[in-house]
Structure 1
């Protein structure tokens, strides 16, 4: 393996490892809080904002300020009494849409979305020798990764779009 190929392989391995760590913590362990700092700040803000919008009526009825709740939940180290509900909803959501973790595989190639943004595809690898057959349709789940200050963060799950654009 030449130097460029080795670098590409190691970079891909780091991305795939981070994605597996995040998804395993959430989907297998039911623990979003531990890996929450590994989510891009814009993605955390988007997830928190959507949860607040989805629960706005109940939050208002209980006297919560939606903007303050969203900001607190989006923090890398959230310490808000509603975190347990926020986490439960997202863990359940990820578990619902992702394949069985025992079958997870990540494609060997990434695709650059923009400078510092790479796209991975999580898929179910429980097929004949993990090789896609001609004409075979397979479920895939895009994961956008963002390089921030030399460290990769999860920028989006389930879409190949950059949520910050």
Structure 2
């Protein structure tokens, strides 16, 4: 699964004296995150390619021309690009132009045979949790028999669970 975010944009000064904005993309894929910077023109070129090859994928793309470069206008464009990119990733099969744009190599789409008819996105992406059926601090506190011999553990448990505990200043 691929997830993309555009958390920010930044102004870049070029050698010719003309400045432009780039959008910082964070791409999460195969347990790794990498960052890529792209200009609006690169997004627009990708949009035209995808629209040509996948005409049924109609999603809103931010306009090319903007009146000014105030923070509010640039933030609206950033949010629009992020929304469009999120919808472009959902195209099946994933367009190779999009994978090249995101600099993802050797992409293996998730297999639909995993699980019992449900997609792999429905399952939790975390490791199993270790939990206690009874709270050892409360059990030991009520019995008044200290079985926790580790003083560090006892101090942490006291700070977390004892309502009368006051942190020394």
TM-score interval for Structure 1 and Structure 2 normalised by the shorter chain: under 0.3
By percentage of residues, which structure has more helix? Answer: 1
Structure of higher CA gyration radius: 2
* TM-score, structure 2 normalization: 0.25
* TM-score, structure 1 normalization: 0.25
